[in-house]
Amino acid sequence: MAAAGVLAVAGVVGLAPEAARAGQEARTGQAVRAESGGGGGWVVVRTDSGRVRGRVTDEGRQFLGIPYARQPVGALRWKEPRPVAPWHGVRAATGYGNRCVQTPSWDPGYEKPSHTEDCLALNVYAPEGDAGDAGASRDGGAGQARARADGRRPVMVWLHGGGLTAGAGEDIVPDRFARTTGTVVVTVNYRLGAMGFLASRALDGEASDGVSGNYGLLDQQAALRWVRANIGRFGGDPRRVTVAGESAGGRSVCTHLASPTGRGLFRGAVIESGAYDDCAGRERRQAAGDGTAFAKKAGCPDPATALACLRRKPAKDILAAQAEFDWGPVVGGRFLPVQPAEAFARGGAAKVPVLNGANTDEGTLFAFARFDGRGEPLTAERYPGVLDETYGVGLAERVARRYPLARYPSPSHALAATIGDQLFACSALRLNRSLAGRGPVYAYEFADRTSPPFASLRNRGTDFAFGATHVNEVQYLFKHFGLPTPLNAEQRALARQMTAYWGSFIHSGVPRADGAPTAPDQRTRPGDVLSLRTASAGGTTVDPAVARAHQCSLWDAAVPR
């Protein structure tokens, strides 16, 4: 199964009613607090487009739903992002902007589709007070609250996951992370699915570099430019911006590392579970062919009129037609001249420090969604056939020998191990090797196999053992979907340690935490990985055997040359 299919399959299982209600209550409660002024009143900041009014909370200051580009509606559908139109007066920044066009999913609060194209907004979370008094040491920040002489704080811009077809900046609430680490955090909405990644020959003619299909990623770079122009007014340092993301957000970060148009927009990068498919984009011909097939499916079969026809379609029709297509970046123009792997091999990546990693049990989420979550657990009898379908007969035979059923608690877990190793663990290690020639690269693996399933999986009435699955590390750093995470004492200690590592990287470019090893730099310690574990599992250590544990000799040999 292609990576896009694996990442999309997580959305096919319905959301448990209990989780849906919990997510809605959390979001509604936050909106009410915003309207009432929360725990400390209002604060007004002037941006280059106008003034915005945010609110002061117990964690700091937050400004929600600030437009960073002109909204891509009407004639601007499938256009590169334009500067936002200035406004008069003070604009309320106390509630999240609209989510970009997407289907319902099993994530809390996503029970209904979004058909809204007016969605290019970002959120800013800034600690209160001077940069030197953030209390980072007290709260596990390893003393990283040291500020520049001008008092400005480093900045993290977070790109959400969701397979480039789902999600929003509001999926994490990083206010506690911002306070603890002394960091200004920005979260971003960007165009998704067909709205963000449709390519066609007709659209190529409108693109500034002659290659269409990268609208969602161009949105992200527009947000980074907004940060460069405005973040100083929120206490952030525009010269110390780290771009970070998980899953499709991490893949986006990987793409920006290879994009010449992203140079100078960030000085560090964090990739969480985002190196799948070696960060590959769609070749121009493939993307244009997808666009033609999509137009036919959407009821616009005539190439001469397809673009005008598609622009007249309501968003719900575009959304209905986009299933089963691969929506991702397109290679060939100024934004992404060559595949990221080729750019990295040539030494063409942005020369900034990178923190890159994956989770030990990435694949359990996808195996569960494909089988057990549908009420049809994978059986031993079906296992060989599913390997054939997923990897092809020749490779499947080798996979079956490396992943015998006797080694795993169930056939679903055996398949999950193959998915996680092939898509995530080994691709992350390959990316480390590719990037190590152009600057510092620090490797980690989130390895808390006792971690509670993230919010979308809780209360589903299943005893499926997810372990350290895809997305699970996010709740150790932020409030995932704004919800509390049921961590035990050991896991809370690990969460503080992870916050220290991430905060240290954002501040200094080196991931450190008090009383724990520094993340290994792949330039001097290739293959060594920082294994993030609870104390009873041995604590956080440097593990030199991660590649062997994930069967990377098998998967690396299978990568097309």
User: What is the pLDDT tens value at each position of the chain, 561 positions in all?
Assistant: 455 555 654 443 332 333 333 333 333 233 323 333 445 699 999 999 999 999 999 999 999 999 999 999 999 999 999 999 999 999 999 999 999 999 999 899 999 999 999 999 999 999 987 543 333 333 334 434 444 556 899 999 999 999 999 999 999 999 999 999 999 999 999 999 999 999 999 999 999 989 999 999 999 999 999 999 999 999 999 999 999 999 999 999 999 999 999 999 999 999 999 999 999 999 999 999 999 999 999 999 999 999 999 999 999 999 999 999 999 999 999 999 999 999 999 998 999 999 999 999 999 999 999 999 999 999 999 999 999 999 999 999 999 999 999 999 999 999 999 999 999 999 999 999 999 988 999 999 999 999 999 999 987 889 999 999 999 999 999 999 999 999 999 999 999 999 999 999 999 999 999 999 999 999 999 999 999 999 999 999 999 999 999 999 999 999 987
Q: Are residues 411 and 447 in the same domain?
A: yes
Q: Are residues 163 and 222 in the same domain?
A: yes
Residue 269 included in any domain: yes
Question: Which residue is catalytic, options 59, 362, 445, 473?
Answer: 362
- Concerning whether 170 is annotated as a catalytic residue, the answer is no
User: What is the C-alpha separation between 326 and 429, in angstroms, rounded?
Assistant: 24
Residue 288 included in any domain: no
User: What is the C-alpha separation between 481 and 517, in angstroms, rounded?
Assistant: 31
Contact 547, 429 (CB under 8 A): yes
Q: Are residues 53 and 18 in the same domain?
A: yes
Contact 558, 395 (CB under 8 A): yes
- Concerning whether 470 is annotated as a catalytic residue, the answer is yes
Contact 478, 177 (CB under 8 A): yes
Q: Are residues 89 and 138 in the same domain?
A: yes
Q: What is the number of structural domains in the chain?
A: 2
Q: Could you say which of 315, 345, 375 is where a domain stops? A: 345
Q: Are residues 227 and 122 in the same domain?
A: yes
Residue 62 included in any domain: yes
Residue 292 included in any domain: no
User: What is the C-alpha separation between 184 and 234, in angstroms, rounded?
Assistant: 8
Q: Are residues 366 and 485 in the same domain?
A: yes
Burial bucket for residue 238 (CB in 10 Å: 0-12, 13-18, 19+): middle
Residue 300 included in any domain: no
Residue 37 included in any domain: yes
Backbone angles phi, psi at 29, to 5 degrees: -60, -40
- In this predicted structure, what is the pLDDT of residue 3? 58
Question: Which residue is catalytic, options 160, 413, 470, 550?
Answer: 470
- Concerning whether 490 is annotated as a catalytic residue, the answer is no
Which residues span the domain enclosing 522?
A: 354-557
User: What is the C-alpha separation between 512 and 500, in angstroms, rounded?
Assistant: 7
Q: Are residues 329 and 394 in the same domain?
A: no
Parallel, antiparallel, or unpaired: how do β-strands 354-359 and 268-272 relate? parallel
What are the pLDDT digits (tens) for 49-58?
999 999 999 9
Residue 454 included in any domain: yes
The residue assigned the tokens 């148009």 is 261
Helix axes 248-258, 215-230, angle to 10 degrees: 80
Q: Are residues 122 and 193 in the same domain?
A: yes
Question: Which residue is catalytic, options 114, 212, 247, 434?
Answer: 247
User: What is the C-alpha separation between 423 and 46, in angstroms, rounded?
Assistant: 44
Q: Are residues 338 and 374 in the same domain?
A: no
The pTM of this model reads: 0.92
Which residues have CB under 8 Å from 378's CB, separation 6+? 367, 370, 371, 372, 386, 410, 411, 412, 415
Which helix H or strand E contains 355, and what residues bound it? strand 354-359
Residue 387 included in any domain: yes
> Tell me, what CATH number does 449's domain have?
3.40.50.1820
What are the pLDDT digits (tens) for 69-101?
999 999 999 999 999 999 999 999 999 999 999
- In this predicted structure, what is the pLDDT of residue 39? 55
